[in-house]
Homo-oligomer: A and B are copies of this chain.
Amino acid sequence: MSAHALFRPEDTRFQVDADRLIERLARVLPAEGLVVDEDARRPYECDGLAAYKQLPLLVAIPDTIAQVQEVMAICSELNVPVVARGSGTSLSGGSLPHPQGVLLSLARFNRVKHIDAERRLARVEPGVRNLAITEAAAPHGLYYAPDPSSQIACSIGGNVGENAGGVHCLKYGLTVHNVVELTVVTVDGDLVTIGSEAPDSPGYDLLALFHGSEGMLGVIVDITVQLLPNPLTKDVLMASFDRVEDGGRAVAAIIAAGIIPGGLEMMDGPATRAAEDFVHAGYDIEAGAILICELDGSAAEVADQREAVEAVMREHGATAIQVAADDAEKARFWAGRKAAFPAAGRLAPDYYCMDGTIPRKHLATVLQRISEISEAHGLQTINVFHAGDGNLHPLILFDANQPGQLEAAEAVGSAILQLCVEVGGTVTGEHGVGMEKINEMCVQFASAEIEQFHAVKRAFDPQGLLNPGKAIPTLNRCAEFGKLHVHKGELPHPELERL
């Protein structure tokens, strides 16, 4: 949001000779693969977090891995920052361009290279859309499980960079649990393979390290994901509760009963009513909260689980339970949930979507506190979330044209994230830190921990060229934000501030 200063001085310390850079890049990129003209660079000035805008110095759109290697070698040599970008759907400004840097678009890396149905693997390029993997696998009765809400548009390279989640991740894991191998171009243009198609790989677990690293360790150019067989049966239940707290307790009790649903999503009353107004999904608009639960597996397994889930829901105060009768009704139950964000856009001119994670058992109290914090700032927050894994998406409603409301929304958002940390949670569930939540990282981590992150970063990118200013705050930034945990009375390693 505009109230933040986007980049700090230490993030914009680069002295780039643009003419020389253009001359060098033009030799390795196809003619239409180097974008210099300001108007043509404009579409790249922001990602899904449109409140943050920054024109890149240049845009490079390579066609081949060899070209990516050349671009990185040139940028390393000339000390030029590089921000990689897939579909640009990041909700945290992860692919926000750097003013002195190259925006490296991987849009042309959009091929599904191979589906190995027997081994249930797909080898894809990083610019392939998430849903396109499932579409390519469908003829084999297979699908790719992690399903961010943006799956129609977001690309798999970005999914790895942000370790994306989604409705199915409760049962089938985050992106990191569904990727087996990466090919990465290092900051100086080398090509390395990370992970393997075998179940475990010796050496340090760089595969997991790259997940959620937000483009700061290398440029991913090839990804092998595992596919799952389509479930034989799926049931979708929808339960109404008078109070959000009851729904929260039902969620905890379902998991505690040893059932891991394929999806377990909750919406509070205002979110339910907004979604119902928008898509007419048949939601209970009298409810204080609704819970949507998808069960998948064999017919016997699903029947068994449905019975158990219904019992737990009733025990925790469900006032009504509907079971979708057919595929059309299953789709309808989900339609409202999937439309919740656009529906929120009908309640207020603007909304700010947060993304915190908390231990499940604190759901009820945290929701109560979010409501109090919002009221104290004169705003309303509605709640839509991946209840099963404790990942909240509070939508803070505001009107940017009313003086002070943007700042109030930011204050509410920051207070919510600090609340998540207080109860043992984290400042991001699946949207990443990017530029948006970089100050909150100072709340989440002690300086020794942030220092360790920077040391890891230096192991991959000693010059600090990959996506500078994102994900891991400098200790100077934390000091300014007032949250620095001072280490033995002094700033540890002043040279860290270079990164």
Contact = CB atoms under 8 A, between A and B. Distances in A.
From A192, A198, A297, A449, name the one whose CB has the most chain B CB atoms within 10 angstroms.
A198
Nearest to A188: B448
Contacts of A303: 300
Interface in A193-247: 193-194, 196-209, 211-213, 217, 228-229, 231-232
11 contacts: A119-B361, A193-B446, A193-B449, A198-B358, A199-B391, A199-B429, A203-B433, A207-B208, A208-B209, A452-B459, A456-B456
A138 to B, nearest CB: 15
A200 B453 contact: no
A299 B298 CA distance: 12
A25 to B, nearest CB: 22
Contact of A204 (B192, B200, B212, B304): B212
A471 interface: yes
Interface string A422-445: 001111111011000100010011
A301 interface: yes
Nearest to A357: B198
Contacts of A228: 258
Interface string A346-369: 000000000001111100000000
Given A165-B200, A199-B390, A298-B301, A206 B357 contact: no
Contacts of A305: 298
A202 B441 contact: yes
A177 interface: yes
Contacts of A203: 212, 433, 441, 444-445, 449-450, 453, 471-472
A201 to B, nearest CB: 5
Contacts of A389: 199
A81 B281 CA distance: 64
Contact of A428 (B200, B304, B357, B448): B200
Interface of A: 118-120, 163, 165, 174, 176-177, 186, 190-194, 196-209, 211-213, 217, 228-229, 231-232, 252, 256-258, 297-301, 303-305, 357-361, 389-391, 420, 424-430, 432-433, 437, 441, 444-446, 448-450, 452-453, 455-460, 471-472, 487
Nearest to A389: B199
Given A177-B177, A209-B209, A211-B205, A200 B429 contact: yes
A200 B426 contact: yes
Contact of A449 (B192, B427, B457): B192
Contacts of A471: 202-203
A5 to B, nearest CB: 21
Nearest to A121: B359
A227 B357 CA distance: 20
Contacts of A198: 357-359, 390, 420, 424-426, 429
B202 A432 contact: yes
From A191, A197, A453, name the one whose CB has the most chain B CB atoms within 10 angstroms.
A197
A197 to B, nearest CB: 5
Given A199-B429, A455-B460, 20 more contacts: A119-B360, A163-B205, A176-B205, A176-B208, A190-B487, A191-B448, A193-B449, A197-B424, A198-B357, A202-B426, A202-B444, A204-B453, A205-B205, A205-B211, A205-B212, A206-B452, A229-B258, A300-B304, A301-B301, A458-B459
A456 B424 contact: no
A183 to B, nearest CB: 11
A169 to B, nearest CB: 8
Given A198-B390, A357-B199, A204 B426 contact: no
A424 to B, nearest CB: 5
